[in-house]
Structure 1
């Protein structure tokens, strides 16, 4: 090969590398399905569909636009954070506060860092179905909950009213709240987001009583306008001691947490995660496609990405 041929080949390879990992326009990437310079990208999947929506869209864009080899790992929240230090997890793509985990893994072990806000605003609380709030308007004031406790008794709660929670790994202060507000209730864990949704749906359809933990963003609110119970107002520091909490949950700016090694490398997948932001409505749209319309996460992501290419363009690494 002549010198001029080597030069032309070098220029061509450099151009290809730049196109593969920086500034590509949506739909123009020549790499995909695991080829290219992005390398491996390990995303934790926490057990609620809003999180799954975030992960589905990020994974789809990483694969189709950046050529990453994406591996999704179904993990509870704290287990996912443990994976930062072992190299098993690169990113947690929706974090609900977790000051305890931040202290342990960001401040002390220094294996994780924040990659900024997702743009999604989260809220946790106690909810009742619309029919119940309409029939008993004062039930949405926590001060009145004890007079309705017998209505919520179940075989699991015994002589107390049942406060239905979801997965025990979710962020919850409910056991402390019940104790510190002197409520005649017992927290019963349904085990999953699906169990909560089913309970609220059945309660509204059959006009049966239920009170439970729930959160937004959540696509179910478009179907059933669950009514939030007013707990004592949240003030800064009122939840500092987990055992003494007697106030409502704060509003959450849901952020992304990544391994420090992943962030320090600064590769295309990290840049994508860092740039990723969307709205509550965006997330609910994809989440509904997965949970209610029964699309695969990949199909739900493709549907949303195809309709929002301008938003995707803003997330892609710049050359």
Structure 2
């Protein structure tokens, strides 16, 4: 069942039939505050949305926000929107906010995500049995370092992104220590350094990301699962790994009432894996300013976004 339909507030449903267009006198003149999270992909999604809303004559501010605290801020009306929320790395603040109507889901951004544990192919020589996660029980020392020995070392997502890897390691009684990555950049730097030196590494990672077009990487594989993966019910022999995300556009409860045409724009706004991966590469590897990359995408895709912003 479509959660967006279930959780649609009366205020939002009332504006759903209005035509999208530019900010009008009937709309609030307050500034729309859009969350900027830590990773490059989300920052690109947020900045593109911000620039297109500015073209619609809205005042927009980009506000740096933690992946978890942002939902409290949105529920309070201190932040108003995040166009890229991965719904498998969230807490009760998010799910309860949707259920109560303090947060509103304006639909899927269009990304087709995957996240899980990755490793370079040479690790299969040191750990026969990969890609099955079961092999990790017999290969802990192949993945260990001085800090974790005799346990293996797993690089998890940064602490602010949640503790899913830590919880899975505990549930499976896997003899690994899940160490939070410092940031996306720090994780990528460690991955590149380990591969260059052919050092042991296993890491939580996600798609879309440019890294998969530049490096040969394998995914750890899990037990077959009937239906959705329920992470809280896993054990060795019944391990589905990670519930795969939907990437949603989330706004505060007040957003559709205050800025109905902006809400219609957000409903229509989409990006593909290929689009975002190319943009991430431009920023992270070609070291171009993110503002320049966003401006270029907008300049080259007017036929696409003009439909989203048209009156």
Structure 1 distance, partners of 2:295, 2:173, is 49
Pick the aligned partner of 1:89 from 79, 83, 99: 79
SS at structure 2 position matched to 1:139: strand
Say which is worse superposed, 280-289 or 137-146, in terms of deviation.
137-146
SS at structure 1 position matched to 2:182: coil
In the alignment, which residue of structure 2 is the partner of 1:232? 223
Structure 2 distance, partners of 1:83, 1:99, is 14
SS at structure 1 position matched to 2:51: helix
2:72/2:93 contact within 8 Å kept? no
Q: Which runs of 5+ in 2 are unaligned?
A: 1-18
In the alignment, which residue of structure 2 is the partner of 1:174? 165
In the alignment, which residue of structure 2 is the partner of 1:52? 43
In the alignment, which residue of structure 2 is the partner of 1:297? 290
1:107 maps onto 2:99 in alignment = yes
Pick the aligned partner of 1:67 from 57, 64, 67: 57
With normalisation by structure 1, the TM-score equals 0.81
Calculate the aligned-residue CA RMSD, in Å: 2.6
Q: Which runs of 5+ in 1 are unaligned?
A: 1-20, 30-35
Aligned residues: 287
**Change beyond 3 A, Cα 1:288–1:170:** same
Pick the aligned partner of 2:70 from 77, 80, 89: 80
Residues 243-282 of structure 1: pairs in structure 2 closer than 5 A = 246-282=239-275
2:127/2:135 contact within 8 Å kept? no
Structure 2 distance, partners of 1:270, 1:38, is 15
2:120/2:216 contact within 8 Å kept? yes
Structure 1 distance, partners of 2:231, 2:117, is 20
1:123/1:249 contact within 8 Å kept? no
* Bigger Cα Rg: 1
Say which is worse superposed, 170-179 or 119-128, in terms of deviation.
170-179
With normalisation by structure 2, the TM-score equals 0.83
2:115/2:207 contact within 8 Å kept? yes
